[in-house]
Amino acid sequence: MPADPSSLNVPFSVTFLHRLRMTNDIFGRDAAVLSDLIEPSEGRRPRVQFWLDEQVATMNPQLPQRIQAFCRKSAGCMDSSTKVQLVPGGESVKNDVHIIERILRCFHHADLDRRSYVVVIGGGAVLDAVGFAAAIAHRGIRLIRIPTTTLAQADSGLGVKNSINLFDRKNWVGTFAVPWGVINDRTLLTTLSDRDFLCGFSEAVKVALLKDAAFFRLIARSTGEICHRGDVCTSIIARSARWHLKHITEGGDPFEMLESRPLDFGHWSAHRLEALSGFELRHGEAVATGVAIDTVYSSLVHGLPRADAEAVMRCLSELRLLRSHTALQQTDDLFDGLEEFRQHLGGRLTVTMLRGIGHPIDVHEIDHDRMRQAIDLVVDRTAAIRQSDCL
C-alpha cells in the first residue's frame, strides 16, 4: 500500500543533558563550578541574572554581597550587571500569579535572551516560580537552579517541571523544562529551620520505597542522626537526588506522557492536604502523610507486609514528619484529590501503590472504605505523636 502523502506521522527525539553538581561553598571556593556552567555564546559574554529567595537572603545577610562579588570576579566571562532580585520564599510565591509578570518584566528590562542564564537560589517554591517564568520567556531562558532546602536538593531541584498554583489547585499552570544545570550546595542548608530541614527526607523516603529497599533501611536506622542533622544527611540527600535524576533520565517518561507517575507516590492526597490546610502543612509534611496513607492502604489491599507498613510509619514519625492537622479529617475533601490527580493527567486514574518495599505497582481503582480505614489509622498515629509531644 503506498503511504498516504497527506497524512504524515514522523517520530523524532531530542537529546537533553542534565547537569548536577555537588559543592560545599558555591559562592566561595567552589565558585568555578558555577562559572563553568555558564558558557560563552559565540564569543559574547552571556547575560546572567540572579534570583534569590527572600527568606534565604534574610537568614544569610551576606549572601547578596557574595553573589555580587562572584559577578564582579566573573565579569570577564559574563554580564550580570543587574542587581540580585529577591522574591518571597515559600508557597506564597506560587500563589500569586502577578509575581510571574514582575519576574518577566525584570528579564525583559535586562534584555535576557535564549542564550542568557537565570540563576535561581531558593526553596522548591521559588525554584518553581522563577523556573516557570524562565521557561516561558522567549520560550525558554537557560535556568541554573541552586536549591536551598533539603527537599529541593533531594527531589524537586532535579525535576524537569515548574509551576505555580491557580484556581486553588496546586501546580495548575506550568511547563516541562529541563534545567541547564543544578548545583546542590551543602552549606546553603545550614540556615534551614529544623522543620524545613526534615521535610526533604519525606521525598527521600518516598523514592527509597519505590526504588531501593536498602536505602529505606538506611534512612529508617538513621532517623536519630538525621534529626540531629548529622553527616549521614548529605549522603541521603545525594542518594535521593541521584535516584530522582536516574528516574527522569532513564525512566523512559521524563515529560509524564504515560499514565503512571511513580514519583508522585503519596501525592494525590499530599497536594490536596497542602491546599486544605491553607498551606500550613509544608509540602514535605503533606507528602509524608500521603506516603503513610498509601503505604497503609497498600498493606490493607495490595499485600504489602504489615511489618513493612509499620516500619514506614515509624520512620516518618521518628523524622517528625507526620503532623496532625484538621485537614486530615476532611476525608471527602481529601478524596477530591484523587479526581484532581486523574484530571491533571487526563485518561484513567493511575495511582502508585506498593506490593513490597522497592516494588511499586500501578492501580486504577481505589477502595474508598479501605482508604478511609488507612486515613483513620494515620490520623490516630499523628494524634498519638502530638500527645507524646514529639513535634
Ligand X SMILES: NC(=O)c1ccc[n+]([C@@H]2O[C@H](COP(=O)([O-])OP(=O)(O)OC[C@H]3O[C@@H](n4cnc5c(N)ncnc54)[C@H](O)[C@@H]3O)[C@@H](O)[C@H]2O)c1
- Shortest approach of ligand X to residue 190 CB, angstroms? 7
Q: What are phi and psi of 106, to 5 degrees?
A: -65, -40
Which residue number, 46 or 147, has a Cβ lying nearer to ligand X? 147
* Cβ atoms within 10 Å of 191's Cβ, excluding its own: 15
The answer to whether the CB of 182 falls within 8 A of the CB of 164 is: no
Backbone angles phi, psi at 14, to 5 degrees: -125, 135
Among 46, 64, 89, 262, binds ligand X (CB under 6 A): 89
DSSP-assigned beta bridge partners for residue 336: none
Q: How far is the CB of 92 from ligand X (least distance, A)?
A: 8
Instruction: Show the binding pattern over residues 311-350: x = contacts ligand X (CB under 6 A), - = does not.
Output: ----------------------------------------
162 makes contact with ligand X (CB under 6 A): yes
199 binds ligand X (CB under 6 A): yes
Beta carbons of 317 and 333 less than 8 angstroms apart: no
The residues near 142 (Cβ < 8 Å, ≥ 6 apart) are 114, 115, 116, 117, 118, 134, 180
Binding site for Zn ion (CB under 5 A): 287
Quote the strand ranges of 102-168, DSSP E: 117-122, 142-147, 161-166
Position 152 contacts ligand X (CB under 6 A):
yes
Q: Binding to ligand X by residue 237, rule CB under 6 A?
A: no
C-alpha cell, 353:
501503590
What type of residue is 204? A
148 and 121 in contact (C-beta within 8 Å)?
yes
Contact stretch for ligand X (CB under 6 A) within 96-104, 192-200, 294-302, 364-372: 192-200
Residues pairing with 144 in the sheet:
119, 181
Which residue, 89 or 262, has its beta carbon nearer to ligand X? 89
β-pairing, 85-87 vs 48-53, is parallel
Question: Is 148 near ligand X (CB under 6 A)?
Answer: yes
- The answer to whether 275 contacts ligand X (rule: CB under 6 A) is no
179 lies in the site for ligand X, by CB under 6 A: no
Residue 154 contacts ligand X per CB under 6 A:
no
Question: Quick check: 159 binds ligand X (CB under 6 A)?
Answer: yes
Q: Which is nearer to ligand X, 120 or 304 (CB)?
A: 120
**Considering only 28-36, 150-158, 289-297, 343-351, which stretch makes contact with ligand X by CB under 6 A?**
150-158
Could you tell which of ligand X, Zn ion, none binds residue 381, using a CB distance below 5 to 8 A set by kind? none
* Using rule CB under 6 A, residue 86 touches ligand X: no
Residue nearest to ligand X (CB): 89
Whether 53 and 19 have beta carbons less than 8 Å apart is answered as: no
Map 330-368 to HEC letters. CHHHHHHHHHHHHHHHCCCCCEEEEEECCEEEEECCCCH
338: Cα separation from own chain's centroid = 20
Cβ nearer to ligand X, comparing 196 with 308:
196
Distance of CA 121 to the CA centre of its chain: 14
Using rule CB under 6 A, residue 262 touches ligand X? no
Min separation Cβ 105 and Zn ion, Å: 30
Q: Given the rule CB under 6 A, which residues bind ligand X? A: 53, 55-56, 59, 89-91, 94, 122-126, 128, 148-149, 151-152, 155-156, 159, 161-162, 171, 188-189, 191-192, 196, 199, 282-284
